Amino acid sequence: MSPRMYLWGLSLLPHVGSITAKRLINVLGSEAKAFWANTRELCAAGGLSFKNAKEVVSAREQLDLALKWKVLNEEFIGGKNNKGLITWLDRDYPPLLHEIPDPPLVLYFWGKLECLTRPTIAIVGRRKASPRGIGWAKRLGRELASFGITIVSGLALGVDAAAHAGALETGMTAAILGSGLDRIYPRANNRLARAIPKKGVLISPFPSGTPPLRGNFPARNRIISGLSRGVIVVEAGERSGSLITASLAVEQNRDVYAVPGDPLDVGASGPNRLIQDGAKLIFGAEDVLEEMYLSRQLKLPISQEHGKTAPSEASGISKLDKSLGRLLNCLDGPLHLDEIAVKTNLPAADVTSGLIQLELKGLVEELTKGVFQRIG
């Protein structure tokens, strides 16, 4: 019976977090002993209350660890769909996570775990982000990923989803879930979640079947910042989850970057506050790269698929007719169709038809409904 199994067993017990587990293992000598600790040991070594310790013991008695372990391994060792489990003890456990005070005992993953060996940056922000915020997240995700950086985020709506989507276009991304890998939350991101394992990885500290409970998300936020060398906050309200992630990042000795915004804007109050508190203000991907001692020269060959489309796009521009050029030129930020029509003085028919053509050519993108932004 391997220590991995007992470590996994510990992760399934109630009231036993990574700190308690670490303490138990240190005092009692091995993972197995920690797992089989009696009530007295749990209280003395683990620091649990007597009531909690009794609950741990009764939960352990109901848990047929060996059988469950077998089932889990059968599911994972088949290796069919890149699913797996890593523990503290494994060599491929992300080294950055070892540095934080309370690294998760185990992580369930689905996809390419190796993307965590690359430099990592987290992008977090509001769920109800403005088109501008979505645009920033997407752009930062796309550009940073093209330098071989893995974009870490939480697969929430808004900024998170945009960062993942942007990163998937040019590179790799890791999504940390607050639920089991089989319970993608929110469901609106189902499609995105299915795309991630092919080019990145989905990670959860929770076993399959865990629902997205409110209490799971602090642990997820800790892993997001823990896995990353820095955290970029794009848009966040005051007292928001993103700011909690940012403060966790500070505790974990990570860099915090913030995209500034209008002081009167609710969505900008979070990043602006962070900048006031000393976070690094960034204008674009370069600022982050510089901070990470990566320069533009280091640019990795971007994925083949992207490389193929790029030249055709470039030649496509010259062929675009005048009104498309005018549309492209007026897009200095995210703009609604109506605003574009006013700005370019083109009829609505030309604007709508032109923007769709540009979107299909990959030159602009629709951020939120009816709001477009230029790519690159």
Partner 1 sequence: MFAVAKAATVLGVNGHIVDVEVDLARGLPSFEIVGLPDTALRESRQRVRAALKNQGYAFPMHRLTVNLAPGNLRKTGSAFDLAIALGILAAGGLIPENRLQDVLVLGELSLDGKIRGVGGVLPMAMAAVCEGITEALVPVDNGSEAGLVQGLSAVVVQDLAEAVGVLTGCRSAAVPKPAEFLETGYSAVNDLSEVKGQLTARRALEIAAAGRHNLLLVGPPGCGKTMLARCLPGILPPLSNQEAVEVARIYSVANGGLGQLKLTLAPPFRSPHHSSTKAGIIGGGLLPHPGEVTLAHRGVLFLDEVGEFGRSVLDVLRQPLEDGVVSLVRYGYSVKYPSECQLVMAANPCPCGFLGSSIKECTCTGREIAAYRRRLSGPLLDRIDLQVWMDALKPKDYHTKQESSDKVRKRVVAARKAGDNTCDTNLGPADLSACARQILETAAERFRLSARAVQKTIKVSRTVALLGQSCQIGAEHVAEALTYRLSL
166 binds partner 1 (CB under 8 A): no
Cis peptide before 119 (omega within 30 of 0): no
**Which residues between 129 and 148 bind partner 1 (CB under 8 A)?**
130-131
Q: Which of 148, 158, 149, 219 is nearest to 186 (CA)?
A: 158
Residue 83 DSSP SS3: strand
How far is the C-alpha of 175 from the C-alpha of 122, rounded, in Å?
A: 10
338 binds partner 1 (CB under 8 A): yes
Compare residues 73 and 352 and give the one whose CB is closer to partner 1. Answer: 352
57 binds partner 1 (CB under 8 A): no
Rounded to the nearest 5 degrees, what angle is found at the Cα of 114, between the Cα atoms of 111 and 115?
A: 80
Single out the residue of 224, 371, 373, 375 in contact with partner 1 (rule: CB under 8 A). 371
Single out the residue of 127, 183, 280, 306 in contact with partner 1 (rule: CB under 8 A). 127
270 binds partner 1 (CB under 8 A): no
300 binds partner 1 (CB under 8 A): no
Report the nearest approach of partner 1 to the CB of residue 350 (Å): 8
Q: Judged by CB under 8 A, which stretch of 160-168, 200-208, 250-258, 346-354 contacts partner 1?
A: 346-354
Q: What one-letter code names the amino acid at 45?
A: A
- Give the helix ranges, DSSP H, for 29-173: 31-35, 39-44, 50-62, 65-77, 95-99, 131-146, 159-170
Q: Judged by CB under 8 A, which stretch of 4-12, 31-39, 105-113, 332-340 contacts partner 1?
A: 332-340
Report the nearest approach of partner 1 to the CB of residue 311 (Å): 17
353 binds partner 1 (CB under 8 A): yes
How far is the C-alpha of 109 from the C-alpha of 95, rounded, in Å?
A: 16
Single out the residue of 59, 72, 157, 195 in contact with partner 1 (rule: CB under 8 A). 157
354 binds partner 1 (CB under 8 A): yes
Ramachandran quadrant class, 316 (left: phi over 0; alpha: psi -120 to 50; beta: rest): alpha
Residue 371 DSSP SS3: strand
State how far the alpha carbon of 211 is from the alpha carbons of 98, 183, 214, 217, 318, in Å. 26, 7, 9, 11, 51
348 binds partner 1 (CB under 8 A): yes
Cβ–Cβ under 8 Å, residues 65 and 9 = yes
Q: Judged by CB under 8 A, which stretch of 140-148, 204-212, 297-305, 334-342 contacts partner 1?
A: 334-342
Report the nearest approach of partner 1 to the CB of residue 206 (Å): 20
Single out the residue of 67, 264, 314, 349 in contact with partner 1 (rule: CB under 8 A). 349
Cβ–Cβ under 8 Å, residues 52 and 15 = yes
Write out the residues near partner 1 by the rule CB under 8 A.
127-128, 130-131, 157, 186, 188, 266, 336-339, 341-342, 347-357, 359-360, 368-371
